[in-house]
Chains A and B, each alone.
Chain A
């Protein structure tokens, strides 16, 4: 669900870049120096997993997007993490691209932040691994759905005739939604049982510096 290089006209790409810049500044400020290794290692884990893990679905397979999980584990820091991961994906594999980097960061990062506000607190307070599974699954589904809507919105803004791409992508994405939800749910339940500290994120939004 990347916006490919060259598809977005300058106005849409610039709007995406501005929004992404705002999110990245907020994310960097929320991240303390001590958290940089943690954020980076999670960035590499999420980057590697989304490249390597192939979840079978019908005759094909899908890769997990994991932006719901990134939001649950990183909060606002998920935005700069996605900027770095998406830059590397563009540089190494040409998924997405340099002019659509901002747009893609917003498409992936904004739902992650939404999931942090929506589900992080209840995950930390929930009583059982079963509840953690359902909260994680809800986060995965919400994040992917929101990402799909942002992606579709960016494409339609780029050109009304691109709406046909959105229509074509709609049905497969409904199936992917289920897989992503189940996967994020299982990861959350496992972390809840084994390493609940993973969900603790210091709340420091707006207080830190950029460098």
Chain B
């Protein structure tokens, strides 16, 4: 059982170089976050959905992610129209639903779904360690990349340590209830996990020093830029330019 897995696969999206995918995702997310009108937002959602289809994201986990986001959006859609001041669009049970509130909630929902779909399709499909190496090649500060890679490495180790400690507690008839005993027991579990982690960190550091670690990893994974990556760069640049035209040029930038 692992709590750190990406969406594995062999689609065209999976085969692309991670570096342009990171850049494209960031630019796309920023542009969508900046936009305010329905045409551009719908276009953004379409791009996100298309990417998710191209990456053949498995439906159940994707639905779970989208539900997690849209649960909050549902709250917004129900609350904002009632609480925002503005022209009433319609009334239900004497509650005026304001046009501004409906607009704000819809815009936020569209933005969130567009960004989540593109983010999951482009970055959720990169193997996590490869993502760390791609960050390195994109000149992210070395210490931050190391922190990221080490964190990944130890997530599963600690997950197993946690499960082991929990099993030991359950074997001694521990049952979580709402009382101080439960909080104290979980607190001891957490603290024990930290003690073991800290000792492990010291052993790891000593072992790494023995092998000549000077605060710098040798990045063993280099990415080759294929023709399909050039095509991806070209297409994504065109899509992003088109998006800017739709949002910011009056008349939609279309003839």
**Residue positions of A touching B, CB distance < 8 A:** 4-10, 13, 24, 28, 31, 33-34, 36-45, 47-49, 51-58, 61, 64, 66, 73, 80-81, 83-85, 87-88, 90-95, 97-99, 159, 161-165, 168, 179, 182-187, 189-191, 194-195, 197-198, 210-211
Q: How far is the CB of A162 from chain B (nearest CB, A)?
A: 8
Of B72-80, B220-228, B242-250, which binds chain A?
Answer: B72-80
Mark each residue of chain B from 79 to 96: 1 if its CB lies under 8 Å from any CB of chain A, else 0. Answer: 110011100000000000
Select A48's contact among B33, B83, B155, B208, beta carbons within 8 Å.
Answer: B155
A8 to B123, CA, bound (A): 21
Per DSSP, chain B at the interface is: helix
A36 to chain B: which residues have CB within 8 Å?
A: 143, 146-147, 150, 215
- Do the beta carbons of B191 and A99 come within 8 Å of each other? no
- Number of B residues contacting the other chain (C-beta, 8 Å)? 84
- Do the beta carbons of A55 and B186 come within 8 Å of each other? yes
B237 to chain A: which residues have CB within 8 Å?
A: none
A43 to B92, CA, bound (A): 48
Count of chain A to chain B residue pairs whose CB atoms are closer than 8 Å in the complex: 237
Residue B65 is within 8 A (CB to CB) of chain A in the complex: yes
A97 touching B195 in the complex, CB below 8 Å, given contacts A33-B215, A84-B148? no
Of B8-16, B51-59, B101-109, which binds chain A?
Answer: B101-109
- Do the beta carbons of B68 and A95 come within 8 Å of each other? yes
- Do the beta carbons of A40 and B151 come within 8 Å of each other? yes
A66 to chain B: which residues have CB within 8 Å?
A: 190
B190 to chain A: which residues have CB within 8 Å?
A: 45, 49, 53, 64, 66, 183, 187
A34-B215, A45-B154 are known; give 20 further A-B pairs, CB within 8 A: A4-B69, A5-B115, A6-B115, A9-B33, A10-B34, A33-B214, A40-B149, A41-B197, A41-B200, A42-B194, A45-B158, A48-B162, A55-B186, A88-B152, A91-B6, A92-B3, A95-B68, A98-B25, A163-B83, A183-B183
**Closest A residue to B215 using CB positions:** A33
Complex A-B, nearest 4 residue pairs according to Cβ-Cβ distance, in ascending order: A186-B187, A33-B215, A6-B112, A40-B150
